[in-house]
Amino acid sequence: MKCVKCESKAVFLDPCLCKEHFIKNFEKKVADTIKQFSLVKKDDKIVVACSGGKDSTTILYLLKKFHGNVTALAIDEGIAGYRNETLVDLKNFCKLHKVKLQVVSFENKFGSKLDFMLKDGGNPCTVCGTFRRFLLNKHSKEYNKIATGHNMDDEAQAVLMNLTKANTDLLGHSVPITLPVKGFTQKIKPLYFCLEKEIAAYALLMGFDVGFTECPYIDRAYRQKIRDELNQYEQEHKGTKKNILLKHLDVLKNLKFEKREFQHCNKCGEPSKHTVCKTCQLAENIKSNLVK
């Protein structure tokens, strides 16, 4: 099959594009999202939350290309056979592209790797997500923006997850740029309108050395069920994911969210809704082996 823009052989079928036009098209889509939502300003200090996977590596590469100076920040949760491998890819990538990388581990901060925190069968994703968000925010304070590799699939799943769990106060997080809140680094998501399969194709075509293995705990994530259903819908009704996000952004425009005020956690000093933040509560429970 031929590229719809030239006579070359197509390497991607939806839309039908050759390697050169696919790469151009993809990079333009990301640049357009950055422009449309004013994600990046000239003097922004940007740190990219990186895992060594295709999404965060792609956005690290593109922000360096578009913006210049960016730093990478990675969290090592301590997941054997997975994170240790993606971190090797990330370290190599950063060395090759001359990007400063900081790695922060659960083991150093919380005294144990994720693999050993929940021997009693608790939900690893709850602990992993809470601790990872905490560390990303804590270690991005010297920057004014933190970029993440969240893509259209992730964000459409998040919208549905928050609706099905009635977490309506979290719906405002599924946006290309979060509102400024004191104590939190503003989050930007330049891949918001890129499908996971497009990013995978871009990473492959660009020759990024990234693995495509999934976390061994993925089957225990609530997100996984939503992901499978959504992929089924997308296959049968093309454009479902995009429609969810466009409608979601449309609805958000007409909603008023209460201004979020945070106090300081009595234990760690980080922003918290309660006297002791969720991270410190979880860390304490894990120490006492109470997490279920």
Q: Which residues of this chain interact with ligand SF4, rule CB under 6 A?
A: 124-125, 128-129, 215, 217-218, 221
H or E element in which residue 23 lies? helix 19-36
Amino acid at 141: K
Least distance (Å) from ligand SF4 to the CB of residue 240?
Answer: 23
Cβ-proximal residues to 83 (8 Å cutoff; 6+ apart), any chain: 51, 52, 76, 77, 215
Element (H, E) at 264: strand 263-264
Residue 229 CB, shortest distance to ligand SF4, in Å, is: 17
Identify which of residues 118 and 245 has a Cβ nearer to ligand SF4 in the complex: 118
| Shortest distance, position 148 Cβ to ligand SF4, whole Å | 13
Backbone angle region of 56, left / alpha / beta, with phi > 0 → left and psi within -120 to 50 → alpha? alpha
Smallest distance, ligand SF4 to C-beta of residue 155, A: 15
The CB-of-124 to ligand SF4 minimum distance in angstroms stands at 4
| DSSP label at residue 176 | S
Name residue 222's amino acid: Y
CB 103 within 8 A of CB 76: yes
Rg of the chain taking only CA atoms, in angstroms:
19
Q: Which is closer to ligand SF4, CB of 30 or CB of 215?
A: 215
Nearer of residues 18 and 210 to ligand SF4, judged by Cβ: 210
CA 154 – CA 157 distance, rounded (Å): 5
For the CB of residue 215, give the shortest distance to ligand SF4 in the complex, in Å.
Answer: 3
Looking at the Cβ atoms of 40 and 74, the one nearer to ligand SF4 is 74
Give whichever of 104 and 125 is closer to ligand SF4, judged by the CB atom. 125
- Let me know how long the chain is: 292
In contact, 99 and 208? CB cutoff 8 Å: no
> Smaller CB distance to ligand SF4: residue 221 or 226?
221
